[in-house]
Copies of this chain bind each other. A is one copy, B any other.
């Protein structure tokens, strides 16, 4: 029965990994984001520092695991947040997304502001978009708007454009907390409304099908 053994090992590994993630989470809560170091983390779970690298490629990998946990709850909160009007539903996403980013800047940074050099492991165009649970919900709700005749055009393109606007807004607010954007909430709402109003007036063509860009 090699398979069950295999899975047993896998289980064990997964358990230790989640133990590490838990410890990392606590460490961050107790000592702040920069208090998370490999050595402290290893000591916390009773392993040697180098053993951590059996479970994570590098430190970024740990931060990313933490951040993804946080984003999971965000995705859930969004899904649990209903709205009758489909456009309002989009606004809910944008608002929750913004609130999360401004409330968890570290997590937002690691997920959306540090380079992802993961090559597309056989992922297709659409898979890469819907792989992200947030993007998945966004596309779905955009589709609802299109179906309701409130928006017109390619849902994926519309979703991507909304993402760009939302991300630009939030990342600027995070990076330049002292820049006079005025009230953060007001700025977020303004940008969100601006983008949605503009999209409502035009027919959005799909994104070009050019091969994936690669920085040389």
Q: Which residues of A contact B (CB under 8 A)?
A: 102, 105, 112-120, 125, 128-129, 160-161, 163-169, 171-184, 186-187, 190-191, 194-195, 197-198, 201-202, 207-210, 212-215
Contact = CB atoms under 8 A, between A and B. Distances in A.
A56 to B, nearest CB: 20
A160 B176 contact: no
Contacts of A213: 173, 177-178, 181, 183-184
Nearest to A190: B161
Nearest to A179: B128
Number of chain copies forming the complex = 2
A183 B120 CA distance: 16
A4 B119 CA distance: 58
Contacts of A163: 168, 172
Nearest to A213: B184
B197 A210 contact: no
A206 to B, nearest CB: 8
A207 B181 contact: yes
A198 B194 contact: yes
B198 A197 contact: yes
Please give me the 10 A-B residue pairs with the lowest Cβ-Cβ distance, nearest first: A168-B168, A198-B198, A182-B208, A182-B207, A183-B210, A164-B168, A183-B208, A167-B168, A125-B180, A186-B208
Residue of A184, A197, A208, A209 with most partner-chain B CB within 10 A? A208
B115 A174 contact: yes
Contacts of A117: 177-178
Nearest to A177: B215
Contacts of A186: 207-208, 210
B182 A209 contact: yes
Contacts of A207: 180-182, 186-187
